[in-house]
Amino acid sequence: MKKKSISKILALALACVMTVGLTACGGSSSGSTSQPAADAGSTSQPAADAGSSDAGQAEAPAEEAAPVERQTITWSVIDLNAGNNNVGDYAEEIFQKIEDYVGHDIELTWVNNDALSEKNSLYFASPKTMPMIMSYGGTMTGDVVNAAKAGAFVDLNQYIWDKEKYPNLSGMAENVAANLTVDGKLIALPRTRVVGRYGLCYRQDWAEALGVELGPNATPDDVYNMLVAMKNGNDKHEGFCDYPMEMTSYTGPFDIIQTWFGVGNGWAEVDGQLVPVWMQDEYFEAIEYIKKLYDEKLMPQDWPSIPTDSWSDGCKKGQNGVYIDVLDSGKRIWNYFVAEDTFTPSVINPDEPAREVLYGAVNGHTLATAGYNGFYTLSASTLDTPEKIEAALTVLDKLNDPEMLILTQYGLEGINYELDDQGRVVKLDAEDTKLSSNYQGLNQLLCFLPSTEATTVPTVTTERDDAQNAAYEAALPYAVIDPALSFKVNSPAYAEKGADLDSQASALRTQYICGAITLDQLKSGFDEIRAQGYDQIIAEINEQYAANK
């Protein structure tokens, strides 16, 4: 395979990324906290002022910039790989290349995803123990907001809009920045995400054999019929599994299913007011549907106790046939089917690997991301000098350069990947999990700024990649946005009680689906949540909503 010089390819990619980022997101730094370009470290002077009395004299040599002192940046990072992150023969070499490129040393603490919230709460209780950079999943919650109000985090507005110092971070979109702003202070950097990322994935070979493939306008009933067929079979095929829909303790799939019935994304507008979705009539129709799936054993009966780190294992092993969450996870299941050492044969043609369909919106709806999924904060207690703050931000910014995007996601050239004659990455370790584990997990260090599109590395795509990208595009027009997201961040009542009350609401839904409480008890539970403080949250959210109309 003909290969181009990586330095030339990356130089071209860097220019393209910068152009896309500053063009697509150029308005993102124009808010009230932004600095004019002339204030962003510019030292140039108009020609008429540049030493006119010394005309004709030789210019003094420019002073060399003082070298930046190398800092050690501590960082808590989400572990999604059961500890199998950046390990193997080339792991140390890869990490050393990262540190040399960003110009600072990095100490990572990997934190299991299921323990992340508890671990971060311990840090909040003892700020001096905080890693300089802390990682979070999902969107901002009340405990983070409360910590921000107590001054736990650096106000990034004072730093990141400097396009010269932080060309990648400064391209953050305004609407995403608004969702991470508390009392006017930008307290976090996002891990940007495709908005139309959620959907449903299913075993195509199973569905085809059973005659239950989803058409372009599938309804919840179509999905139900598919699950029943996968469990019970038809006149030609026996059922393929006991529990067709894979499910774990993470209840995000229920939020996706709810949108199929017209339920909002966390919140919805009803009669001109924003309300939590459990105040919508459609919500109760949706959870009756989910309860039906549970009662008919179309999903595991012990799903509340299944940990998230084993999620998708059921589909990979042929124990389940439908997976509802991010579409890229469906692609990874499909990749598993194709890999030589994990070959899962199709029931239609045993000589071919099993296949997945990546399907976005059902009934014209799916869940939207917030434009980000997960974020990073910078500790004000441990980043106690401007030099340390700028070092941390430099690390976060440079990790989004093309060189680092490739290294953290594809490893070493000639070992993990090579470049074709068009400068696209061709993976060499696609079927070698031991080799790919050398860089596994390092993508958790990436903000993907200025945008997901601008930080996409050119790669030679597979059929699975193309299916994922097509599913993203198809889902986008039907993705339901949370209309209250930026308002919740700045609601004092939500910061104080919102996360706990939302958790109570989710627990009530789980109890009802599993038959532990009746419908009347469910509704009484929601009334109690309102009395405990949610009515105040609703009032504060709508006060902001009215002011922004």
pTM over 0.75: no
- Give yes or no for a contact between 405 and 397, defined as CB atoms under 8 angstroms apart: no
Residue 415 in domain: yes
How many C-beta atoms surround the C-beta of residue 484 within 10 A? 25
Residue 382 in domain: yes
Same domain, 349 and 282: yes
CATH code assigned at 101:
3.40.190.10
Listed in order, strand segments (DSSP E) in 253-389 are 267-270, 273-276, 322-326, 356-359, 366-367, 372-378
- Residue 432's pLDDT is 79
In a 3-state reduction of DSSP, which class is residue 365?
strand
Q: Is the peptide bond before 450 cis (omega within 30 degrees of 0)?
A: yes
Residue 476 in domain: no
In a 3-state reduction of DSSP, which class is residue 535?
helix
- Residue 189's pLDDT is 98
- Residue 480's pLDDT is 96
Residue 503 in domain: no
Same domain, 390 and 354: no
DSSP for 467-518, written as a single string: HHHHHHHHHGGGEEP-TTHHHHHT-HHIIIIIHHHHHHHHHHHHHHHTTSS-
Same domain, 264 and 362: yes
Residue 383 in domain: yes
Q: In degrees rounded to 5, what are phi and psi of residue 377?
A: -115, 160
Is the alpha carbon torsion for 160, 163, 165, 171 positive or negative? positive
Same domain, 344 and 379: no
Q: Which residues of the chain have pLDDT under 50?
A: 1-62
Same domain, 330 and 353: yes
Residue 529 in domain: no
* Secondary structure of 411-441 as H, E, C letters: CCECCCEEECCCCCEEECCCCCHHHHCCCCC
Spatial neighbors of 418 by CB under 8 A, at least 6 apart, are 1, 3, 425, 426, 428
Q: Where is the domain boundary, 459, 476, 508?
A: 459
**Calpha distance 330→336 (Å, rounded):** 10
Same domain, 264 and 352: yes
Q: What does DSSP say about strands 133-136 and 72-79: parallel, antiparallel, or unpaired?
A: parallel
Residue 487 in domain: no
Residue 187 in domain: yes
Same domain, 166 and 78: yes
Q: Where is the domain boundary, 367, 398, 432?
A: 367
Q: Residue 399: enclosing H or E segment and its boundaries? A: none
Same domain, 317 and 363: yes
- Residue 311's pLDDT is 85
- Residue 66's pLDDT is 61
Q: Where is the domain boundary, 459, 486, 521?
A: 459
Same domain, 303 and 433: no
Domain region containing 403: 6-24+69-193+372-459
- Residue 549's pLDDT is 76
Same domain, 434 and 349: no
One-letter amino acid for residue 313 of the chain: D
**Calpha distance 409→416 (Å, rounded):** 10
C-alpha distance from residue 496 to each of 186, 316, 370 (Å): 19, 41, 22
Same domain, 382 and 309: no
Same domain, 323 and 208: yes
Total structural domains within the chain: 2
C-alpha distance from residue 362 to each of 143, 257, 269, 478, 481 (Å): 34, 8, 21, 9, 16
